[in-house]
A and B are shown apart, each in its own frame.
Chain A
Amino acid sequence: MTQDSGAVNELFRRILFLPEQASTISTDVDFLHYVIITTTMGVATLIFGTAAYFLIRFRRRSETDVTPKVVGTLGWEVLFVGLPLTTFLVWFFIGYHDFIRMQTPPPDAMDVYVVGKQWMWKFTHPEGPNSIGVLRVPVGRPVRLLLTSQDVIHSFYVPAFRIKQDVLPGAYTQTWFQVTKPGSYRVMCAEYCGLKHSEMWAEVVALSEEDYESWMKEQRRGLVSRRDATPSAPEREAPHLPAFWAVRYDAQEPHGQLMYAERGTLAERGERVAAEKGCLKCHTVDGTAHIGPTWVDLYLRRERLTNGETVVADEAYLNESMMKPQVRIVEGFEPVMPSYLGQLEAAEVAALVEYIKTLRSARLETIRSEGPVYEPVGGK
């Protein structure tokens, strides 16, 4: 049975020129794709065939032909409307169901920060290592990407995973995937972003759980003082041609951020940033209230706002509070915080968020990373 459906899947995938299916959602997306394309193309052919048949059957026989007046009855029109409407809506709801799944990262997902910039992708793991052009993730674990841009809008696109997410300046968006087999997968920018838009490539290197762990261990053994993360063991053993443009970044273009010269984990870096940028003048890390809300247990806390609404302090809200502090202010505090847009680099924001995440009183230690920037209606 599964053998059969696997063969059918492979047949359709090849006929439709789809890339390989390397994420958990890709097969579901593709199945709906097969059904819709096959049905619509079949029906379209049928309708066109009918037209062609009429063309021959009712061809003009004399120049003075007279035709009867035929007017559609209600029944026909109801059929014309009802049949496609029902079919389309069924497809839509199956697709929407998948879409919600694609938009909602599982609670146990690991996070990676992604910064898009003309014309490169940068990936930063909360544990420390970061790299340009290569995102290393373990197979079989859901990975949530938190994306932001330093300049214009980009779009993070991995054809093999069937995911795509616009990357906006001044805001975080998110997407997630779970890779099903080790390998290297092409990442492309899908939103036009200027001169070298078509060269803004990267690759996702999916490693087996063991390879990933040993790679991560290696990175944390002090090698992070290098400019970039080092390749993982499988990459060194079988040096494939890396995604051709991913290694051709323009050396003349400084990549802007000095973050890759930093030591330690992202949270440690966040601690330093907080001190350097003066965050701690107003926010405390010991739980006492000051000019601004304390950072302890702030992550995922439900806060009441001055306008009466409540908000969960997730990544999106924390980021917004740094970039647009005036938008949503927690009740009991004055709107005195300046905007850090342009003051903080995107990677520093990521570091701060990671730092805030670590500030937990014991009670909350068990709460895991959760939560979508865009929670679908009806909850998870």
Chain B
Amino acid sequence: MSTETSPWEEHFGSRENQSRAAQLGMWIFLGSEVLLFTNLFVGYAVYRYYYPEVFAKASKHLAADWATVQTLLLVTSSLFVALAVHYIRHGRQFLTALVLLVAMGMGVGFLGIKGWEYWKHWTEGALPGEFYRLEDLPVQGGSLFFTLYFLLTGLHAIHMLVALGLLGWLVFGAVAGKYTAEYHIPVEVGGLYWHLVDVFWLFIYPLLYLVE
């Protein structure tokens, strides 16, 4: 983070130390984020153990091929974010902004597909809890699967939105010339966050879409 005058804060002692602190802080935050998802993963494990067959059938209601496209989009976007960090280390602000924009575009594409999927679920009634209207699967287990589906993907989508905002802010900063080869802590830290959101998806994708 930067102040109005200089991005270097005096109380860290040295610039390396500030960078180290920012990275460490982000890692701790990421660890904390992982645990935010644990409840849902635990809930998933428990209920899948209770209702294995229902879960397998419910999974068939999801668009697994589109989810594969989503996965590819996210993985590629992570690559571009990594490139952004590489470019800014060499002080190439314009290229940084460009690749970040590409990554953002992929993120928006991901959310677009997600939104379309939600719309499909809405029309067929594959909704959580009280709103569950699917005929071919029992309420017991079936509604739980879609509760967990919406909670997991919804929480992930919220994280995507936050991460997109973060990238947008980085693009803005890169264009404004705030980041240089020396000072690029926000790009590194923001990139880490993007990767984390990406990794969450890599867990959610097989759990929800590839149930056998």
Contact = CB atoms under 8 A, between A and B. Distances in A.
A and B touch in the complex (CB under 8 A): yes
Interface of A: 306-307, 324-327, 329, 335, 338-339, 341
B50 A327 contact: yes
Contacts of A327: 50-51, 141
B50 A307 contact: no
Contacts of A329: 53
Contacts, number: 26
Interface residues of B, number: 9
A307 B52 contact: yes
Q: Which of B54, B140, B141 is the most central at the interface, judged by chain A CB atoms within 10 Å of its CB?
A: B140
A338 B140 CA distance: 9
Interface in B32-54: 50-54
B138 interface: yes
A307 B54 CA distance: 13
B211 to A, nearest CB: 14
Nearest to A320: B50
A341 B143 CA distance: 15
Contacts of A324: 50-51, 140-141
A326 B53 CA distance: 8
Contacts of B134: none
A165 B128 CA distance: 32
A338 B138 contact: yes
Contacts of B53: 306, 326, 329, 335
Contacts of A341: 140
Contacts of A307: 52
A327 B54 CA distance: 9
B75 interface: no
B130 to A, nearest CB: 14
B31 to A, nearest CB: 30
Nearest to B51: A326
B111 interface: no
B30 interface: no
A324 to B, nearest CB: 6
B71 to A, nearest CB: 29
Interface string B134-174: 00001111000000000000000000000000000000000
26 contacts: A306-B53, A307-B52, A324-B50, A324-B51, A324-B140, A324-B141, A325-B138, A325-B140, A326-B50, A326-B51, A326-B53, A326-B54, A326-B138, A326-B140, A326-B141, A327-B50, A327-B51, A327-B141, A329-B53, A335-B53, A335-B54, A338-B138, A339-B138, A339-B139, A339-B140, A341-B140
